[in-house]
Structure 1
Amino acid sequence: MKTVIVIPARYASSRYPGKPLVTLDQGDGTRKSLIQMTWEAAQGIEGVAGVYVATDDDRIAEASRAFGAEVVMTSDTCRNGTERVAEAVRGMDIDVAVNLQGDAPLTPPWFLTALIDAMKDGVQMATPVLKCDPQTYANFMEDRRAGRVGGTTAVFDHARDALYFSKEVIPYLPEAEKARPPVYHHVGVYAYTPAALAAYGGWSEGPLERLEGLEQLRFLENGHKVRCVEVEAQGRVFWELNNPEDVPRIEAVLRGER
C-alpha cells in the first residue's frame, strides 16, 4: 500500500498568523520551527513513500527547503488542509495520503502507524482519537472558559465511525464523570484514499463545517463515513498548537516538565 505523508501549511491563519514558522524551545537550548518539528516527526514513520510540505506561501516553502523538506506548491484558493492535500497529491500514483497538520509536533509516530494500518481494511477515510486524561480535559475546559477555540473532540458509534466532531467539549459530563472523563480528543491527522479526496473536492462547504471550522465535517455532511481509530498516548502528552497560549504548554512538554 503506497502511502505518502503531506503536511499542509498556510501562513494566513486567522487565530495565529505565521504559525508554521513559530519557533519553540526544544528544551536543550535550541529552537525549531513548528513546520520543521512536524516534518521531523513524519520522518519517523516507516514504509512511507514520501513526505511533502504543501503550501502556497514562499516563506514557508523557503524555510522548509532549508531543513531538507520536499515542497509542493499549491494554490492560494485551498480553504483547508484536506483541499490542499488533495491538490498536492493529484496525479500521484498512491493508495493512501496522510494529512499530518503542521500544528501537531507532539504527534507520536504510532498514531500515524495505527491510522495507516486501519486503511488496510478498506476504509476510505480515517482519523485518530485519543481518550482524554484529566489534564487534557482540564486544558479543554480552561480554553472554553477563556473563550478560546482549542482542541477538537469526537463522538463515534459502536463501529467507531464518527457521529460528530466539535470544538465544544462533547459529550456533556456530569460532575461525577470528570475525574475519568469519557471524552475523546480528536487528533488532527487524516488518512484518505485518492477516491475520497476526489469526492471531497466536488462537495461544497456545508453549514456544520462552516460553523465549526472543521474540514472533516464535510465528509459527514455528505454521508461519507469517517473511521475513528483509537490510539494510546503511552505516557506521552499530546496537544496541538492552536493559539499563542499553547506555546508554553508544548514547550513544557519538550523540557520534560510534564
Structure 2
Amino acid sequence: MKTTILIPARYQSSRYPGKPLAELTLPSGTRKSLIRMSWDAACQVHGVDRVAIATDDDRIAEHARGFGADVVMTSSEARNGTERCAEALVNAGIETDLVVNLQGDAPLTPPWFIEDLMAAMTRDDTAQVATPVLRCDAVTYGHFREDRLVGRVGGTTVVFDRNGHGLYVSKEVIPFIDPGKLPDPIPVFHHVGVYAYRPAALRAYTGFAPGILEELEGLEQLRFLENGVTVACVEVDGRGRVFWELNNPEDIPRIEIALKEQA
C-alpha cells in the first residue's frame, strides 16, 4: 500500500507549551529538538512514500524546514493530531492508501512498530484504524503508577477484545491490578501514540462530534471507539527497548536515559 507518514505538531500545549521545539541531549552529547527526533524516527521506516510535518505554527515550520523536512501548513482549528492529519491530507492533495500519524512527542518509536501497523492493515481489511500496543514491563508499569500517585498524567493504557479490537483507552492504568498480586507477565498494555488510518476513516473522523469519553479523557482515539469504528490493537515487540512519550518536562530525563541505554 502507498503509505504517508504525517507528524502533527502544535506549539500550544496546556501541559508543555513549545514541546516540539524542546531539546534533548543525545548520547553523543549533541542536542536535538523533539520534532527533529520524531522526523528522524519516521525516516527510518521502510516502505513509506512520503513523510511530512503538519503544523499551524510558523516557528515549528521554520525550524523543520531548516533541517530539510517536508512541511504541510494547517489551520489552528484542529483540536488534535488526527484532525490535523485529516486537514493536511486535503491541504497537500495527498493521494495515499494509508496515513500514519506519528505524534511528535514519541521520538523513541522504533521503525518496526510502524512497519507492523502497515502489515496489519494489509492483512485485516475490516480494520479502519490500527494502533500499536506494548505490554508493560516492570519499569514502565512502575512509571505509570508513580505518575498517577503524584497526580501527573503520563502514558496511556488500552484494553482490547480477543480479536485484538480496542475496547477502551485511558489515562488511568487499566485494568486495575491489586498491588499485592502483580502477575507475570503484567497484563497492562501501553498504548503507543501512533495510528494508521485508511483515508476514508480519517475523513469520517472529522464528521463525528467529540463524545463524552473523548472530552473527559482528552484522548482523540476514543472518538473512533465511541462511533463504532474498528480499531485494531497490534501488539508489538519492544525488543528490549523502554518506550516513553514526552508528555511532561519530567519525561525528558527518562527519554535521555533510554537513549543512552539504546546507544
TM-score (norm 2): 0.96
Distance 2:259 2:142 in 1: 20
**Distance across 2 between alignment mates of 1:167 and 1:181:** 17
Q: Can you list the C-alpha shifts for 1:8-47, whole angstroms capped at 9, x where unaligned?
A: 0000011100000000000111000000000001111111
**Structure 1, gaps ≥5 residues long:** none
Letter aligned with residue 166 of structure 2 = A
Is 1:97 the counterpart of 2:102? The answer is no
* Shift in Å, 1:179: 5.5
Q: Secondary structure at the match of 1:89?
A: helix
Contact kept in structure 2, 1:134 and 1:179, CA below 8 Å:
no
**1:40 maps to what in 2?**
40
Give the gaps of 5 or more residues in structure 2.
none
Q: Which residue of 2 aligns with 1:28?
A: 28
- Cα distance in 1 for partners of 2:9, 2:196 equals 17
Number of residue pairs the alignment of both structures matches: 258
Q: Aligned residue for 1:256? A: 261
Contact 1:132–1:184 (Cα < 8 Å) also in 2: yes
The two structures have a TM-score, normalised by structure 1, of 0.98
82-91 or 152-161, larger mean C-alpha shift: 82-91
What percent of counterpart residues are identical?
65
Instruction: Give per-residue Cα distances to partners, 1:131-160, cap 9 Å, x unaligned.
Output: 000000000001001100100000000000
Residue 216 (1) aligns with residue 218 (2): no
Match among 225, 233, 245 for residue 228 of structure 1 = 233
* C-alpha contact 2:11 2:18 (8 A) present in aligned 1: yes
Q: Which secondary structure state, in structure 2, belongs to the residue aligned with residue 203 of structure 1?
A: coil
Tell me the CA shift for residue 66 of structure 1: 0.5
1:118 and 1:179 mapped to 2: Cα distance?
A: 27
CA shift, 1:93, in A, is: 1.2
Equivalent residue in structure 2 for 1:132, among 111, 132, 136:
136
Partner residue of 1:238 out of 243, 248, 263: 243
Which residue of structure 1 aligns with residue 71 of structure 2? Answer: 71
Deviation at 1:68, TM superposition (A): 0.7
Q: Could you tell me which amino acid in structure 1 is paired with residue 261 of structure 2?
A: G
1:14 aligns to what SS in structure 2? Answer: coil
What's the offset of the Cα at 1:178?
Answer: 5.2
